[in-house]
Amino acid sequence: MVAVMFMSVALVALLCVIAYTLAVYALPFMLGLTAAQFAYQTGSGLIGAGLVGLFAAGIAFGVLAVLFETIRIPIVRLIVALIFAAPAAVAGYALVHGVTKEAVPSDIWRQIFCVVGGGFAGMSALARLASGVGQPAR
């Protein structure tokens, strides 16, 4: 029984690490998913919708990465970085809320943990973006 509890804690921790590692890709994923849903609803079929979604996500990631790397005006660069990191913060908030939903009985403490988790995910995405898009922070 104790081994199962340790395994479940280790798996939750591993999922959190994976989620924070992939937080940089939250915006391109959301845009790709939205494009795929739109394409599917307009009759493109499952394969066509998947291709449209992959193409849209790749274009969104490429445009934001190129914008962040080429723009030298600090305010505009910060705006691009915040556009990139905001969905990551929302995803981090949702992840922590899902993990702590049953574990933390107090609504106030759950919200505190969720806000801190969302902040960590957003800052992680900003750090990964600043260190080189798609490359781990050093």
State the chain's mean pLDDT as an integer. 85
- Residue range 13-39: average pLDDT? 84
The segment with the largest mean pLDDT, out of 12-21, 56-65, 126-135, is: 56-65
Residue 137 falls within a domain, yes or no? no
Q: Is 35 domain-assigned?
A: yes
Give me the number of domains the chain comprises.
1
- Give a yes or no: residue 70 inside a domain: yes
Residue 10 within a domain: no
Q: Which residues of 25-57 are buried (b: 16+ CB within 10 A; e: fewer)?
A: bbbbbebbeebbeebbeeeeeeeebeebbeebb
Domain for residue 1, yes or no?
Answer: no
Domain that holds residue 94: 15-131
pTM: 0.71
2: pLDDT confidence band, cut at 50, 70 and 90? confident
pLDDT tens string 82-121 = 888 898 899 889 888 988 888 888 899 999 999 998 898 8
Mean pLDDT computed over 47-63: 93
